[in-house]
Chain A
């Protein structure tokens, strides 16, 4: 039985019919992880014992007729989500020994629905990176080519799903951290609307941009997982008090008449020509299913990356001030005084990229520079968000490439922060405006996956999922599996 190749929807049916139990399924995937994780470095912690216990509970619940929406289905959590009693590192030396005293809301909700957690996924340190190379625990290798990056920051989640360690994983996205790795690993990634999913227990990077989402292999599975995670949470003051629709139920609806916006700038010279061709093919397929493509203008979109690299570091410099070596996290030895304790604990505990972003943020917020950088970026952010809003007066979904190229070689971009930052050129706009967005596999260039990027209007994740599902019914790119992991 090739249980690892199956989607959550297929596995649910198998569990329902009694073809296998969750314990059997969980053990199969744990064996796979034991065999392949050293090759990929996708998981930082494997929670085998807890997983088997949760699977046994799920099997008992099912037998008692109390199966939740995700009963017995194995998942992986990005190591940015707090998991009670389990090491939660956020990819940093700072939290190397941190055992979370509580569960994130989404961890709780997924467990309540019966999901079984196999482990915690590697990631760029504090989610700051686009290649997974900033992780204190070493980079993740891309299952499609082990010398290449899986993207980041949710590279571990994406690689684990692509290598069939689990049918789905949680992830987070501040500037493209769900969608870019999904594109580079041939998986589906969705970042919902800002505020749609609770961030309680999700370690903060940039609070006006961060949002939790999922990486799966099909749009249908993304809808299932997101359906359980989404919705109001009292404990997150930025969580929107609005009921989440039944994402899975809307999938079957036709996309006839759906209007797809194409942004001219997204197909400029920055985009690899072959990747662009795959994306255009995908848009043609969506048109053939009854959607109409319309060109839309976004005059301020080219400012997205510089705007992001002011706003995100500013917020990170503030959020990461909590790591002081006193209450939790790394603490320097033999500090001379309190100031020395702070400076050395942080200097030793944070990696280069995190320090760089904290310092960038400190600079743009400092007296004399605040107006020129931070305030200016917040104004430009408004212009960019307005470009999107104007586009959504005419179209339902904006489609384009997720990333400018396919997966790049590990080590290729580490020396130039700007080249690395430009990886997120197509994804950042959605975060700046708080819009839902997703990446869907749409073909290959030189045997490496390419992603189609879809952005929707606020709270309209359903349009994205419906569009992606219709596309996946007509194509089979999402079922392709890297040779080594078949």
Chain B
């Protein structure tokens, strides 16, 4: 196994994912398989090759810095689990 339970736990924390105890064993096994599989890339000779960030090798288009979106807050908040006075509610962050 190229990954152990501690590493998977650390990755899950970074990814903000709570895994059940039973999910760990499977995650360690399958993630290790995936990591071993993608490790084949190290065999490719990439000296001097520029990393490709865009499939068409072009830069992202920029738009003028002006407001274009209408304020549709109420409609968007219909999908939220908990709102009040136009604000999204979350568990208490400051004691």
Q: What is the interface of chain A, defined by CB distance below 8 A to chain B? A: 97-99, 101, 193-195, 208-209, 234, 237-238, 240-241, 300, 303, 305-307, 309-310, 317, 321, 324-329, 331, 335-344, 346-348, 350, 352, 355-356, 358-360, 362-364, 366, 372-373, 375-383, 385, 416-418, 421, 431-434, 458
Contacts and interface: CB of A to CB of B under 8 A. Distances in A.
Given A356-B31, A378-B52, A385-B55, A343 B14 contact: no
B53 A208 contact: yes
A240 B56 contact: yes
B40 A306 contact: yes
A366 B60 contact: no
22 contacts: A194-B56, A208-B54, A303-B41, A317-B15, A327-B80, A327-B88, A338-B90, A343-B18, A350-B17, A352-B26, A355-B19, A359-B15, A359-B27, A359-B31, A360-B35, A362-B14, A366-B11, A366-B14, A381-B51, A385-B55, A417-B33, A434-B56
A300 B15 CA distance: 32
B19 A347 contact: yes
A96 to B, nearest CB: 11
B30 interface: yes
Given A363-B35, A376-B41, A382 B81 contact: no
B17 A364 contact: no
Nearest to A235: B68
Interface in B24-81: 26-27, 30-31, 33-35, 37-42, 44, 46, 49-57, 60-63, 72, 75-76, 78-81
Contacts of A194: 55-56
A373 B44 CA distance: 12
A379 B50 contact: yes
A328 to B, nearest CB: 4
A278 B15 CA distance: 44
Contacts of B63: 234, 237
A363 B56 contact: no
Contacts of A377: 38, 41
A368 B61 CA distance: 31
Contact of A331 (B14, B51, B81): B81
Contacts of A348: 18
Contacts of B88: 326-327
Given A362-B15, A376-B42, A378-B51, 4 more contacts: A317-B15, A343-B13, A359-B12, A417-B33
A310 B38 contact: yes
B37 A379 contact: no
Contacts of A327: 76, 79-80, 88
Contacts of A306: 37-41
A314 B18 CA distance: 19
Contact of A380 (B20, B46, B54, B80): B46
B19 A101 contact: no
Prevailing SS type, chain B contact patch: loop
Given A327-B88, A346-B18, A363-B35, A379 B52 contact: yes
* Chain B: interface size category: 35 or more
Interface of B: 3, 8, 11-20, 23, 26-27, 30-31, 33-35, 37-42, 44, 46, 49-57, 60-63, 72, 75-76, 78-82, 88, 90-93
Contact of B75 (A101, A366, A382): A101
A305, A327, A338 pick with most chain B CB within 10 angstroms: A327
Contacts of A97: 79
A362 B90 CA distance: 25
Contacts of B42: 372, 376
A364 B51 contact: no
Given A376-B46, A378-B51, A379-B50, A101 B72 contact: yes
Contact of B56 (A328, A335, A431, A458): A458
B89 to A, nearest CB: 8
Contacts of B93: 337-338
Contacts of A336: 91
Nearest to B19: A347
Given A208-B53, A433-B55, A341 B17 contact: no
Nearest to B26: A352
A143 B14 CA distance: 41
A418 B56 contact: no
B22 to A, nearest CB: 11
A240 B61 CA distance: 9
A326 B62 CA distance: 29
Given A335-B91, A337-B92, A376-B46, A99 B79 contact: yes
A418 B50 contact: no
B9 to A, nearest CB: 10
Given A326-B80, A359-B12, A376-B42, A385 B34 contact: no
A377 B34 CA distance: 14
Contact of A310 (B27, B30, B33, B41): B41
